[in-house]
């Protein structure tokens, strides 16, 4: 088969995602660890993550015009964007809370599943 540019880009994006995801796990574990930084508030860490993600998304869409903005009604926003955002935030929250109790190796195995 022929290797296309889009296939290479897809694998590159996956590699970047896996690398950054592993980095975030290690960083969160370090921040929440009693041995190192000892920051005992996983929900606050989650809020920092969400604020950073929102800021980067805003910059990429509104300022740098990497993708064009989507026009949507309040109904679509409330029924599509808000639930996904809530589940993503709760996933981050529970994941960050888990860093207080389990090892990084175990977290990596769970993410792989």
Burial of 28 (0-12, 13-18, 19+ CB in 10 A): buried
| Count of domains for the chain | 1
Predicted local distance difference test score (pLDDT) of residue 80: 94
Is 92 a member of any domain? no
Secondary element (H or E) of residue 64: none
Question: Residue 74 falls within a domain, yes or no?
Answer: no
pLDDT for residue 1: 65
If one counts every other C-beta atom within 10 angstroms of the C-beta of residue 46, the result is: 21
Query: Domain limits at 29?
Result: 1-39
Indicate whether 62 belongs to any domain.
Answer: no
Q: Which pLDDT does position 10 carry in this prediction?
A: 92
Contact criterion met (CB below 8 Å) for 43 and 91: no
16 falls within a domain: yes
In a domain? residue 69 = no
**Per the domain annotation, does 7 fall within a domain?**
yes
- Res 4: pLDDT: 92
Q: What is the mean pLDDT of each run of 10 residues along the chain (113 residues)?
A: 87 91 85 88 87 92 89 94 91 82 78 69
């Amino acid at each position: 088969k022929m290797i296309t540019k889009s296939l290479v880009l897809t694998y590159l994006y996956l590699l970047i995602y896996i690398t950054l995801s592993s980095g975030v796990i290690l960083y969160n574990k370090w921040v929440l660890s009693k041995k190192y930084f000892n920051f005992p508030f996983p929900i606050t860490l989650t809020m920092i993550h969400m604020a950073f993600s929102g800021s980067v998304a805003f910059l990429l869409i509104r300022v740098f015009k990497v993708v064009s903005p989507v026009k949507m009604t309040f109904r679509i926003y409330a029924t599509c964007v808000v639930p996904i955002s809530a589940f993503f935030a709760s996933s981050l929250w529970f994941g960050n809370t888990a860093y207080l109790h389990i090892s990084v190796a175990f977290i990596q195995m769970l993410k792989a599943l």
